[in-house]
Amino acid sequence: MTGAQAILTSLIEQGADRVFGYPGGAIMPLYDALLDSPVTHYLCRHEQGAAFAAIGYARATNKVGVCIATSGPGATNLLTSLADAKLDSVPLVVITGQVARAAMGSDAFQEVDVLGLSLSICKHSMQVMEPGDLQPMLNRAFAIAREGRPGPVLVDIPKDIQLGFVPEHSPRPCNTASLPQASHNDIEQANRLLAQSQRPVVYIGGGVGMASAVPQLRDFLCRTQLPHVSTLKGLGSADYHHPLYLGMLGMHGLAAANLAVQQSDLLLIIGARLDDRVTGKLDEFAPEAKIIHVDIDPAEIHKRRHANVSLLGDLQHILPALECTSSKSAWSAQIEQLKQQKGNRYEDHVKGKEIDAPSLLRRLSDLSADDAIVCCDVGQHQMWVAQHMQFSHPTRHLSSGGLGTMGFGLPAAIGAQVAEPDKQVVAVCGDGSFMMNVQELGTLRRYQMPVKIVILDNQRLGMVKQWQELFHNERYSETDLSDNPPFSQLAAAFGIASAEIADAGEVEQALTTLLEHPGPYLLHVRLNHQANVWPIVPPNTANHEMWEQAR
């Protein structure tokens, strides 16, 4: 077997039958072997797009996503996506071709030290220097990507190893890291704090979905009836119908969620890391709250805030052991009232009015399938998606959280559609972000994937514009995009059907047409550039001091 064939055999053994990538010199042997392999390869139009597609695939399925690139520029084009996967704990195996071993270290054509470049943005990286190590290393890469807190793993493979003979390797389960396990004692202590608290709030993070612990979480919330809030990555974990579910907290969190957390006397943090976008001014975050921190990663405990009790381990085991033996009915009543007072209000889509993006997104959410997968880019529209759309599961909301990478939405949607060919997949894009991976329209066209694109076009780099308006004395520097291309014409050039709307009266029909169209479709929505995202917690400010509207 050649090294290239061995790579593909390993992929199949690992269940990775669909991969994303882009060919080039140092990875040509692998692309040659692909022709005779059952692995299906999706050609994206940029390595960043390919890796985002792998992220979309992984996040929509909780399986390992795989992408392939050549050495040099192929590898460097991947770096942003690797960082994205690292910060959002997405399991990826990324295979890069490298120049032949004899040429390594000589500044050969398209040689870069990708191992060195990858160190700080991967969970682990490896370079295969012996043919006999190839398959064991690939197997290990998959194990590492999946285990504990997931993340991206890079495997750099010199071209001569792909071309040469590789000894037969029988896959053995590799030694994976031993995962921590919460002690009975710690669980009892947590339960005691829960019982003693007067104003507890559950703070749900992305870890719940990644641990496949959504049923255990919902059961816990059902048993305990505790008020709960979610991070951006945690959205979809809790049942959005629950009367004590308050939505997203943080910088653009909903007012009720932030106020409840600020008033709490106990926070039960589950699979989250107290990101600065969540806590606002850390010293004033939930100042009276004791902390129970539940996570799989010991490095997150006490990192940003001291935990009174920490429970390390698998959420599927920990959540069923947690209980709250005392009633919090007064607090629950207060929370329900807060939710009532601060609830979102939506506009009817009336002819002759400007389109209100939050109302449009809410309608899109209502009209789309309950298990539709919504991907988005980064900016104001991303926050509107998080605030106003409802998700039945965290695998149904793919948003670049930790890195906040513009250009994420379209390629992630492509990956999600590959993973779930029969599900509705919608990409909600900003006009700025869309242009960052616009080349992936070519991928949509090639595979005729029925991804629905909604461009929320405010002709601005809206989120940056909002900060310039609020915090930089309205000094608008380089955020005007009023020379955007006509997006419908762009879609037409790729053979993709489209429509353009600017009047609220057109929303209902346009959304219905979008969702019912059998193939890919692009809806260009023209917005007033003055709209902003509310609430906002200004920088260095406590979350309860959020601004709820323009001042």
Partner 1 sequence: MTYDLELLLSDQPAALERVLQTARYRGFKVRQLQMRQRGSGLQLSMQVSGPQPINILTTQLHKLYDLASLNIEQTLPQTA
Ligand X SMILES: Cc1ncc(C[n+]2csc(CCOP(=O)(O)OP(=O)(O)O)c2C)c(N)n1
Going by the DSSP 8-state scheme, the letter that residue 372 receives in this structure is -
Residue ranges that bind partner 1, judged by CB under 8 A:
115-116, 119-120, 123-125, 127, 129, 144, 177, 297-299, 301-303
Tell me: does residue 377 bind ligand X (CB under 6 A). Answer: yes
Among 5, 89, 262, 458, binds ligand X (CB under 6 A): 458
Binding of ligand X at residue 14 (CB under 6 A)?
no
Binding residue (CB under 6 A) for ligand X from 258, 380, 417, 498: 380
Question: HEC profile for 131-197?
Answer: HHHHHHHHHHHHHHHHCCCCCEEEEEEEHHHHHCECCCCCCCCCCCCCCCCCCHHHHHHHHHHHHHC
Closest CB 310 distance from partner 1, rounded Å = 11
Out of 187, 378, 454, 522, point to the residue binding ligand X (CB under 6 A): 378
Partner in contact with 214, chosen from ligand X, partner 1, none, beta carbon below 5 to 8 Å by kind = none
Shortest distance (Å) from residue 229 CB to ligand X: 23
Residue 109 is among the residues annotated as catalytic for this protein: yes
Considering 86, 159, 290, 328, which one is annotated as catalytic? 159
The distance of closest approach from Cβ of residue 433 to ligand X in the complex, given in angstroms and rounded to an integer, is 3
In the set 109, 130, 323, 509, the catalytic residue is 109
Total of chain residues touching ligand X, rule CB under 6 A: 19
Q: Which residues are paired to 295 by β-bridges?
A: 312
The yes-or-no answer on residue 351 being catalytic is no
Q: Which is nearer to partner 1, 35 or 177 (CB)?
A: 177
The verdict on whether 47 is a catalytic residue reads yes
The stretches of 197-254 forming alpha helices (DSSP H) are 207-210, 214-224
For tokens 């023209």, what's the residue? Answer: 526
DSSP secondary structure of 340-371: HHH--------TTSB--HHHHHHHHHHHS-TT
Which of positions 397-436 make contact with ligand X (CB under 6 A)? 404-406, 430-433
**Minimal distance in Å, beta carbon 127 to partner 1?**
6
Per CB under 6 A, 358 contacts ligand X: no
Q: Of 144 and 255, which CB lies nearer to partner 1 in the complex structure?
A: 144
Nearer to ligand X, 96 or 433 (CB): 433
- C-beta closer to ligand X: residue 300 or 431: 431
Cβ neighbourhood burial of 488 (10 Å; 0-12, 13-18, 19+): middle
The active-site residue out of 110, 196, 225, 316 is 110
Which tokens sit at 82? Answer: 């690797």
Among residues 465, 490, 486, the alpha carbon closest in space to that of 477 is found at 465
Give the separation between CA 297 and CA 314, rounded to whole angstroms. Answer: 10
The entry of ligand X, partner 1, none that residue 237 binds, CB within 5 to 8 Å by partner kind: none
Closest by Cα among 444, 526, 457, 454 to 493: 444
Q: How far is the CB of 255 from partner 1 (least distance, A)?
A: 33
Q: What's the helix, strand, coil split of the chain in %, to 5?
A: 40, 15, 40
Catalytic: which of 463, 465, 494, 506?
463
Q: Counting beta carbons within 10 angstroms of the beta carbon of residue 252, is it exposed (0 to 12), middle (13 to 18) or buried (19 or more)?
A: buried
- The minimum distance between CB 249 and partner 1, in angstroms, equals 24
Residue tagged active-site, from 47, 111, 300, 506: 47
Q: Which helix (H) or strand (E) holds 246?
A: strand 245-248
CB 259 within 8 A of CB 410: no
**Closest CB to ligand X among residues 52, 203:** 52
Cα–Cα distance for residue pair 366/338, rounded to 1 Å = 24
450: nearest Cα among 523, 403, 515: 515
* Closer Cβ to partner 1, 48 or 279, answer by number: 279
Residue placing its CB nearer to ligand X in the complex, 292 or 410: 410
- Rounded to a whole number, what is the largest CA-CA distance in the chain? 72
Active site residue 110: yes
Which phi and psi angles does 93 have, rounded to 5°? -120, 120
By C-beta, is 137 or 221 nearer to partner 1?
137
Q: Which stretch binds ligand X (CB under 6 A): 154-162, 255-263, 290-298, 459-467?
A: 459-467
Query: Residue 253: which of partner 1, ligand X, none does it interact with, CB under 5 to 8 A by kind?
Result: none
The nearest distance, CB 433 to partner 1, in angstroms, is 28
Which of the choices ligand X, partner 1, none does residue 381 contact, using the CB cut-off of 5 to 8 A by kind? ligand X
* Crossing angle between the packed helical segments 409-419 and 47-61, to the nearest 10 degrees: 50
Residue 312 beta carbon to partner 1: minimum distance, rounded to whole angstroms:
11
Residues that bind ligand X (CB under 6 A): 377-381, 404-406, 430-433, 456, 458, 460-464
By annotation, the residues acting in catalysis are: 47, 109-110, 159, 463
